[in-house]
Structure 1
Amino acid sequence: MKNKRILITGGPGSGKSSVIKKLESNGHCCLHEVSREVTAEAQKQGIDQLFLEDPFLFSFKLLEARINQHHESKSSSENHIFIDRGIPDVLAYMDYFGTEYPSTFSKACTLYKYEKVFLLPPWKEIYVNDNERYETFEQAKVIHSYLEKTYLGFGYEPIEVPKGSINKRCDFILNNLDA
């Protein structure tokens, strides 16, 4: 099957973006996390932190961007497209924050599917806060549980990626694409 969408997800600071960057540097087709782009676009419009000022609008824009990534992945000639976070992540975060959302959000999760989901667990030793990451490590662990519950709820069987070097994590993912 061509265009297998392989999702890399997990709580904040679990190493997703590092894994995606390594896969990309090794020649794999990768689509990067879009939340920082959504934040930067809002800042250009004078909204310092859209996530904090209007969480629903932020989530809606993330949903749109992730749906666009899904469409973009269909036009690729690559067999595997690795994606940093997916559409169900939006719902998991909204559930975590207790934000209500319309059924169109859930519908998007059933319309736009991924062929494989890899879940990176919380890892205190690599967790770092930065300008866009406000969560504590304890909150990251709770978010991880919301992500796992959300993906399971949409019928996925997330494969947990063991802690280890970026190379070992990438090898694990590549070796389990057809598992």
Structure 2
Amino acid sequence: MKTKRIVITGGPSSGKTSLIKYLENEGYQVMHEISRDVILEAKKEGIDQLFLDNPILFSEKLLEGRLKQFHEGENCAAPILFYDRGMPDVTAYMDYLGTHYSENFNKACLQYKYDEIFVLPPWEEIYEQDNERYESFEQAEKIFHFLKNGYENYGYKVIEVPVGSIKERVDFILKKI
């Protein structure tokens, strides 16, 4: 049996992490977001905002981590594996910033494919900024569109998850898959 790889993506404060935690608590296998780990690692090295200071290095670290997660997913015995963001998130964020990047990013996104993509729209009522999330709500809205278009440009059919309770959103996703 082949494991279905399902990506949950969206801009800052769209509810991704809460949704992934809920799925995990319900017994589903998940791969957690790694960007905060990359950010915190850079801060330990004295780089306050690696994504802004060196977007290519930050993106290379993210792509490397997401590729590792993808390969780890090959050993998953569960019927469904949820990812908190996928590889195309990396290029979508660089496109959002207008950062030029090597073809290796596109090659990875085209070579390693997920089965379903769900995108969560920005949700102003739950929006918060913190030490690792420095985008404004208006920027979160723009990022949402870059993410949606980015996945579509890699040939994915992107399904938008309506705003609602975590349970309503999970039920929506599970019905679609």
Please confirm whether the aligned pair reaches a TM-score higher than 0.5, indicating the same fold: yes
SS, match of residue 149 in structure 1: helix
User: Which residue matches 2:157?
Assistant: 157
Deviations 1:39-59 (A, max 9, x none): 122223332321122111001
Instruction: Give structure 2 stretches of 5+ with no counterpart.
Output: none
Distance in 2 between the 1:51 and 1:123 partners? Answer: 23
Distance in 2 between the 1:163 and 1:42 partners? Answer: 33
Distance in 2 between the 1:113 and 1:30 partners? Answer: 16
CA shift for structure 1 position 113:
0.5
User: Which residue matches 1:62?
Assistant: 62
**Aligned alpha-carbon RMSD (Å):** 0.9
TM-score, normalization by structure 2: 0.97
Distance in 1 between the 2:95 and 2:27 partners? Answer: 35
Distance in 1 between the 2:128 and 2:49 partners? Answer: 19
SS, match of residue 81 in structure 2: strand
TM-score, normalization by structure 1: 0.96
SS, match of residue 83 in structure 2: strand
Distance in 1 between the 2:88 and 2:11 partners? Answer: 13
Q: Do residues 143 (structure 1) and 143 (structure 2) align?
A: yes
User: In the TM superposition, what are the counterparts of 1:105-120 in structure 2 within 5 Å?
Assistant: 105-120=105-120
Distance in 1 between the 2:42 and 2:58 partners? Answer: 9
Which letter does structure 1 place at the counterpart of 2:55? P
SS, match of residue 7 in structure 1: strand
User: In the TM superposition, what are the counterparts of 1:14-53 in structure 2 within 5 Å?
Assistant: 14-53=14-53
Instruction: Give structure 1 stretches of 5+ with no counterpart.
Output: none
Which letter does structure 1 place at the counterpart of 2:65? A
Which letter does structure 2 place at the counterpart of 1:63? L
User: Which residue matches 2:124?
Assistant: 124
- Segments of 4+ moved more than 2 angstroms: 43-49
User: Which residue matches 1:72?
Assistant: 72
Deviations 1:7-31 (A, max 9, x none): 0001111000110000000100011
Percent same amino acid among aligned pairs?
Answer: 58
Deviations 1:116-171 (A, max 9, x none): 00010111111111111111111101111111111111110111111100011011
